[in-house]
Structure 1
Amino acid sequence: MTMEKTLWQQVQLVRQKSPLVHNITNYVVMNNTANALLAAGASPIMAHAHSEIKEMVNIAHSLVINIGTLDEYWAESMFIAAETANTIHKPWVLDPVGAGATSFRDQILHQLLQFHPTVIRGNASEIIALSKTNKTITKGVDSTAESNDAVDAAQMLVNQYNTIVCISGETDIILSKNQSFHIRNGHPLMTKVTGLGCSASALTGAFIGTIEDKVSGTAAAMSLLGIAGELAVRESKGPGSLQVNLIDKLYNITEEEFTSHLKIERS
């Protein structure tokens, strides 16, 4: 079976299974994230109350932790959720938004890494900062580095935490101990819509909560968003309409659109 066909089958499996994805994410993007998950066929839940975190992690297919709008209460929610997921072997995604920007963020991330995320997804600057292998400037949640610049840092995280690392950028690079993917889908206009990286992390959560091969599932999630973005740009006048058109394309993308536009290499 071709890689295109395999990844498309994974897109379809998410639609069939409708995995419940528990998101502890930032309130700037909650609505967009939930809509992206629904459009792709998953079921989102946003919950961060300490009293229900453990139960939510137990019933969900996967967990996504995004530290975008961090505070002390939410940080504790994240610790409870990550520890629970690690204990019961529930797949989870860490989105280290703004890593390296403040010592508070870095402290929280250091603690979260101890619970061995299944996937870490961030831009190049965030991945570099997370690995502590280099000094880099994090401009808010935007990257000042290219994906290739973060490969060594990502590999260090892979080896240290036995995780999968996805570096988002013009080329999305997915690394594990045994294989790697390079995905060249997407469009520069997507960087003008807030929270599409957060949507990528949430979609990754849906896929790793459904697909047994977590590396391939991560590649399918990133491919789906990138291709949907490319196609949506064609119908958009700017970032506002792109946001709407992207959700529509996640919902109605066809097999022919997905397989014919996919630009991916595996090694």
Structure 2
Amino acid sequence: MADRFDAEGFVKDRLDWIEENKPLIHHITNYVVMNETANATLCLGALPVMAHAVEEVEEMAAQAGALVINMGTPYPDLETAMLAAGKAANRAGVPVVFDPVGAGATAYRTRIARYLLDEVRFAAIRGNAAEMAVLAGVEAEIRGVDSIGVKGEVEDIASSLAESLGCVAAITGEVDVVSDGKRAARVSNGHPLLGRVTGTGCMATTAIAVFLAPGEPYLEATAAGLAVFGLAGEKAAGSSGRLPGSFHVELYNTLYEISTVRKLKGLRVEVS
């Protein structure tokens, strides 16, 4: 049975905290989406930094409000930086969010993802159904970084992965499924145009990180970040003529409007 969850109240409280504290969100992310995720961070009221150099990532991660590790464009030096930053964030008590882009597409990406999951304590992990299924040991088909199909129910995959990793697992799709291994949330916000613009999945991970910065509860915070991003997508689709280029620009506008004017009507989150 779904519990009553005051999504609007929860999101407003988080946005109030973010506005007052302006947390630094440290991204070690891929080159395809660096600009998009930095802008999304700013639109949500937080401060982005894209520090990748091994020489500085530990220092930067330790002073952040949250750390995003995104392996969309992996290479050996970046792998070293992700590990160092993750461990530094763990020591400092900074929540770490993992986006295992393309896990399962190649042996190299899968190895990196599994290694990071073994070595770093993540507060949350977000991926598409195929990426998350692969990490849960479930058969899946992935093409490039896109999910084609999985064997099994996404709710079971999220719950199993969350329980085994001791963190929140979020599988995004037409309906986003979030689990901490004991409880679950379903987020029904979003729009198909989010799948027509590159980087929106990574931006969703950024939204999670921003909402985790104030602290626990991480299940609700993860769901709230996804709901806000999905709601922004819905609003952007309505004001962009449903064209991908215009939608891309409007997505920043609607994220900013949600975070500053607190236009939160329409959030659809169920927690059980």
TM range (shorter): over 0.9
2:158–2:181 contact (8 Å) kept in structure 1: no
CA distance in 2, matches of 1:64, 1:202: 7
Per-residue CA deviations over 1:130-152 (Å, capped at 9, x if unaligned) read: 112x2211122222237983222
- Give the match's secondary structure for 1:144: strand
CA distance in 2, matches of 1:3, 1:34: 25
Per-residue CA deviations over 1:25-76 (Å, capped at 9, x if unaligned) read: 0000000000000001010000110110110011111110000011111111
1:131 counterpart = 2:136: yes
- Give the match's secondary structure for 1:261: coil
Give the unaligned 5+ runs of structure 2: none
Task: Quote the offset at 1:87 in angstroms.
Answer: 2.7
CA distance in 2, matches of 1:6, 1:72: 40
2:161–2:181 contact (8 Å) kept in structure 1: no
Matching residue of 1:183: 187
Q: 1:77 to 1:234 in 2, by over 3 A?
A: same
1:64–1:202 contact (8 Å) kept in structure 2: yes
Give the unaligned 5+ runs of structure 1: none
Q: What are the equivalent positions in structure 2 for 1:45-124 lying under 5 Å apart? A: 45-114=49-118, 115-124=120-129
For 2:42, the aligned partner's letter is L
For 2:203, the aligned partner's letter is S
Q: 1:148 to 1:236 in 2, by over 3 A?
A: farther
For 2:102, the aligned partner's letter is G
Per-residue CA deviations over 1:68-125 (Å, capped at 9, x if unaligned) read: 0111111111111112222332210000000101111111111100212110000111
Q: 1:147 to 1:261 in 2, by over 3 A?
A: farther
Q: 1:147 to 1:32 in 2, by over 3 A?
A: farther
Q: Percent identity?
A: 39
Q: 1:150 to 1:2 in 2, by over 3 A?
A: closer
- Give the match's secondary structure for 2:98: strand
Q: 1:37 to 1:205 in 2, by over 3 A?
A: same
1:252 counterpart = 2:262: no
Task: Quote the offset at 1:17 in angstroms.
Answer: 1.9
Report the RMSD for the aligned CA atoms in angstroms: 1.7
For normalisation by structure 2, the TM-score amounts to: 0.92
For 1:92, the aligned partner's letter is V
Matching residue of 2:46: 42
For 2:174, the aligned partner's letter is E
For 1:49, the aligned partner's letter is A
For 1:248, the aligned partner's letter is N
CA distance in 1, matches of 2:150, 2:187: 14
1:262 counterpart = 2:262: no
CA distance in 1, matches of 2:143, 2:153: 16
Matching residue of 1:213: 217
CA distance in 2, matches of 1:64, 1:175: 19
Task: Quote the offset at 1:153 in angstroms.
Answer: 2.2
CA distance in 2, matches of 1:24, 1:8: 28
Task: Quote the offset at 1:217 in angstroms.
Answer: 1.2
For normalisation by structure 1, the TM-score amounts to: 0.94
Q: 1:40 to 1:146 in 2, by over 3 A?
A: farther
2:187–2:268 contact (8 Å) kept in structure 1: yes
- Work out the number of aligned pairs and report it: 264
Matching residue of 2:26: 22
For 1:141, the aligned partner's letter is V
CA distance in 2, matches of 1:104, 1:90: 27
For 2:96, the aligned partner's letter is W
1:241 counterpart = 2:246: yes
